[in-house]
Amino acid sequence: MEPKISFDFETTHLIIQKISFIDSFKGEWNVIIENENPQLEALTHEALAFGSAAAARLDGPAISDTDTQAMLADPGALSAPTKQQAKVLGVFEANKFVRKHFKELPLSEETLFHLHKLLLKYTDTEDTFKGKYKSTPNKEISDDPKFEHQLFYNTTVRFIVHKEINELLDWIDRSLKENKIHPLILTAWFIYELLSIHPFQYANGRLAKVLTTMLLLKSKYHFIRYLPIEQILEERKADYFGVLIEGQRHRRRYTEREKISDWIIFFMECVEQAIQKLDAVHRTIAAEQKAKAPLSTKSSLGVLAPVKESGIQEKMEDMTSSEVKHAVYLNDRQKKIMEYVTICGPVKIGDITREFPAISRNTIKKDLLHFQKSALTNQIGRGRGTYYTAKK
């Protein structure tokens, strides 16, 4: 499969840029989610619901986000779901299962079969199709009105589906363990191959979205829980089908011409767009929390006395008289910066300079170094990727 990802210099540079951006956010977000936040936790439920609805709509008609919310809020309405509701419910069930069990789920046929059964759990599809490979040809045809012409691509004939799927699963499992190719490239590549094989009679597109989440979670891209990347794919539906078809049109007949660089770039662009949306939401939440937090009070000892919610005030109240004498002195400027780190952390130096434009970058660096030496903050990462949080 190697020739498919033989990139030219420009493409390689672009992919490296995108990987760098995504991995930078991955590191930042993995720090953020260590500090439990009810508002952020609420995002996971929204992403699960709206992402499931978007994945179902990518695979044909399905209910809206508003209807999805109403349906999930009323379990009694699920006793006899409509066809469109059933599609969303199936994706929701499969996504929920993957989010809970991704660590122990093997990359195997059994996992694919189980997820496929969950996807079709609420449909009236015959049981002969649930969790079983296709029995008739299933060329993919797009009915998207944005296309001037109907487009389709050939899929694997049913007689060799078992062989190709097992080879694909063995390859992705081995490649992730070897870590020679970046997991973002491997994930995009795996999804392309799965969609090209189209192993099941129905729900292959929905299965691909669920497996995308599973693979990203296995590679510790935990931010995927908080953003419905499926919504980005739905917004760019024409591009989504277009890049898949372009890569697949030379499949089998002219294998050496089969390139998937456009698909890999498109996949990473969608992750980037979802990250930008998530980052904007997180900044809004942080700003709201900061606006609600009371100003720090001045301590008679001249030491940091931040808001009660930070936990530092309680810690100081529990200090012995000997410890109080050795408490860290902070001037007014340092108190402001430390309070900002406590409330809004993890933060970068750039975040602090934007918050306090009157304070020079060098002064902020010196203050952060002082906080580090005084055991007031944690430093995470190095160089431009460094973040600071207040010690609990």
More confident residue, 27 or 169: 169
pLDDT tens readout for residues 183-240: 999 999 999 999 999 999 989 999 999 999 999 999 999 999 998 899 999 999 989 9
Lookup: tokens for 226:
């908080």
The CATH number given to 294-390 is 1.10.10.10
Whether the ω angle into residue 346 lies within 30 degrees of 0, i.e. cis, is yes
User: What is the pLDDT, as a whole number, of residue 252?
Assistant: 63
Residue 81 to residues 54, 70, 124, Cα–Cα distance (Å): 18, 13, 10
Query: pLDDT-based confidence at 318, cuts 50/70/90?
Result: very low
The CB density around residue 304, as the number of other CB atoms within 10 Å, is 24
pLDDT tens readout for residues 244-288: 888 887 776 556 667 889 999 999 999 999 999 888 888 887 777
Q: Is the pLDDT of residue 38 over 90?
A: no
- At how many degrees (to 10) do helices 109-119 and 204-218 cross? 120
Q: Is the pLDDT of residue 327 over 60?
A: no
CATH superfamily of 2-286: Fido-like domain (1.10.3290.10)
Task: Tell me which DSSP letter residue 328 carries.
Answer: P
Q: What value does the mean pLDDT of the chain take? A: 81
Same fold, 2-286 and 294-390: no
Burial state string for 144-170 with b = 16 or more CB within 10 A and e = fewer than 16: eeeeeeebebebbebeebeebbeebbe
Query: pLDDT-based confidence at 366, cuts 50/70/90?
Result: confident
Q: How far is CA 1 from the centre of its chain?
A: 26
Q: Which range, of 72-81, 168-177, 331-340, 353-362, averages the lowest pLDDT?
A: 72-81
| Highest mean predicted confidence (pLDDT) among 7-11, 82-86, 150-154, 262-266 | 262-266
d(CA 299, CA 148): 70
Domain definitions of the chain by residue range: 2-286, 294-390
**Above pLDDT 70, what percent of the chain?**
80
